[in-house]
Amino acid sequence: MELQQDPTLLWFIAIYGIIMIGIGVFMSKKVAGSEDFVLAGKSLGPFVLMGTLLATWTGSGSISGGETSMAFSYGIIPSFIMMLPTLIGIIVLYVVAPKIREHGKFTVSGILEAKYGRTSRNIASVIIILAYVGIVSYQMKGFGFILNLTTGMSVEAGTMIGAGMIIFLAMIGGLRSVSQTDAISGFLMVGGLIITVPTIFIVAGGWSEIVANVPKSHMSATGGLTTIQMIGYLLPSLFLLLGDQNMYQRLASSKGNKAAKRAQIGWLIAMIVISPSISLIAFASRSLFPNIDPGMALMATTIAMPVAIGGILLAAAASFIITTGNSYLLSAATNLTYDLYGKYVNKDASDKKLLSMTRIFIVMLGILAFVIISYFPTVLSVQMYAYTVYGAGLTPAVLAVFFWKRVNAVGGVSSMIAGVVATLTWEIILGKPFDVNSVVVAVPVAVIVLIVGTLLTTDNYQTRQVTSNA
């Protein structure tokens, strides 16, 4: 089937954009201070919280990378397997959520500082900013894919428009507005996918026709990937989710533990619907459009379906891309404001000043994200890189705060440094040997250094602590 633009679909994107901007402007008027901007005044109920968790996690990483690229490039079974890290991560966060709320911190860096000291906070802030700017960058490109499909506009120009929307929505109302637009987007996406799956299978001629038009390897358990390569695709999303500052901030923004638990259960159920649906749609797209960029697989199906259904799916895809982008951009800017600016540049900054600086940093980091995406060949490549920098650099140290009382500053800080160094060495210096993602090396290195560093220094570290306290 020929991939031809359908400008009619642009109306659905335009309507979605107008609604989101309207909500953002309206909710921005309710922002009373920095806590309102960053944590929505800790007022999120279960339905809004579920929607914002769902929309923040499932963005361009799933729609242009993740399950979509995996189904298109390697087959349906590997794509289904990509759902497992998310389900496991949600279950673990369900256990950790009450402890997250107890800490009452704006950032993951603040949680780490309470356990490991100021050095860990500084390192964590840099890691979060590097990883989150990368994640924001491929949300922008995902929106560029959408405009390319609908209008024929170049992906680069569409990416620029996506960057503008992401930056604006994050800047205007913070989490107070982002959480509301996220919730609407989350429910829109679930509905859009449920409608699309049976429709695209009818358009593609049914399961037997789809299977006949894809490579034989796409029906195997690994799609031609080795076990190590498959693990390399699974671990980054798991370790990002387990330590994701966005999720921690949202759980801390809930009305209470009861609301957080209900929201997480709803999130889990929604992901059981969303992930397989994305996989099936992208797999059908492989049969219809065998020669397109893997990142465009899901969105390409919008032009093969009736305009109303294609438009709903496209608007839903756009919604997840925009909401994920502004969420990660807001979170990265929060680190710059509270962990660097507020700690070192202006320790006596007023609440109003912190709020204005957060908005300025949102714009600066948004521009940086737009520049970065031009250096990565595919959405999946930058996704795996960004996830691993964060997952290996922070997650082992963060989880140890909640699950291992014995862990100390030496183990935590050393683990963070080791995770980042291992990732950069494998990806940049060694050039990603054997085509295996760096997470396979970086996460084990970070965990080993955490354990060994703690065990070797526990007695000496405790002795110094007692001496300094005396």
In tens, the pLDDT along 402-461 reads 889 899 999 999 999 999 999 889 988 888 888 888 889 999 999 999 999 999 998 654
Task: Round the average pLDDT of the chain to a whole number and report it.
Answer: 84
Q: Residue 349's CB: how many other CB atoms inside 10 A?
A: 17
**Cα–Cα distance measured from residue 266 to residue 262, given in angstroms and rounded to the nearest whole number:** 6
- Cα dist from 396 to 114, 241, 388, whole Å: 16, 12, 12
- Contact status, residue 180 vs residue 55, Cβ threshold 8 Å: no
Does the pLDDT of residue 313 top 70, yes or no? yes
* pLDDT above 90 as % of the chain: 27
**Cα–Cα distance measured from residue 171 to residue 162, given in angstroms and rounded to the nearest whole number:** 14
AA identity, residue 331: S
Exposure string (b/e) for 285-301, b if CB count within 10 Å is 16 or more? bbbbbeebbbbbbbbbb
Q: Return the pLDDT at 316.
A: 81
Tell me the mean pLDDT in the region 74-91: 93
Q: Return the pLDDT at 419.
A: 93
- Contact status, residue 332 vs residue 133, Cβ threshold 8 Å: yes
Pick the residue with more confidence: 59 or 237? 237
Tell me the mean pLDDT in the region 381-402: 83
The angle, 0 to 180 degrees and rounded to 10, between the axes of the packed helices 395-403 and 227-243 is 60
Q: How many helices (H) and strands (E) does the chain have?
A: 21, 0
Q: Residue 377 contacts by C-beta under 8 Å, 6 or more apart in sequence?
A: none
170-187 pLDDT per residue, tens: 887 776 677 777 777 777
By C-alpha distance, which of 453, 359, 378 is closest to 137? 378
Q: Residue 231's CB: how many other CB atoms inside 10 A?
A: 15
Q: Return the pLDDT at 469.
A: 45
3-38 pLDDT per residue, tens: 667 778 888 888 888 888 888 788 777 776 666 676
DSSP codes, 10-69:
HHHHHHHHHHHHHHHHHHHTT--SHHHHHHGGG-B-HHHHHHHHHHHHSSHHHHTSHHHH
Give the pLDDT band of residue 272 (cuts 50, 70, 90): very high
**Cα–Cα distance measured from residue 269 to residue 399, given in angstroms and rounded to the nearest whole number:** 24
Q: Return the pLDDT at 46.
A: 87
Q: Return the pLDDT at 388.
A: 82
Q: Return the pLDDT at 375.
A: 66
AA identity, residue 16: Y
The residue whose two tokens read 């909640």 is: 402
**Cα–Cα distance measured from residue 61 to residue 57, given in angstroms and rounded to the nearest whole number:** 8
- Contact status, residue 196 vs residue 305, Cβ threshold 8 Å: yes
**For residue 216, what is the DSSP state?**
G
By C-alpha distance, which of 275, 300, 236, 299 is closest to 78? 275
DSSP codes, 315-329:
HHHHHHHHHHHHHHH
Structure tokens at 154: 């170049």
pTM: 0.79
- Contact status, residue 177 vs residue 23, Cβ threshold 8 Å: yes
**Cα–Cα distance measured from residue 449 to residue 377, given in angstroms and rounded to the nearest whole number:** 32
Does the pLDDT of residue 464 top 60, yes or no? no
AA identity, residue 384: M
Does the pLDDT of residue 120 top 50, yes or no? yes
- Positive or negative torsion for Cα 128, 134, 137, 139: negative
The residue whose two tokens read 């390409």 is: 300
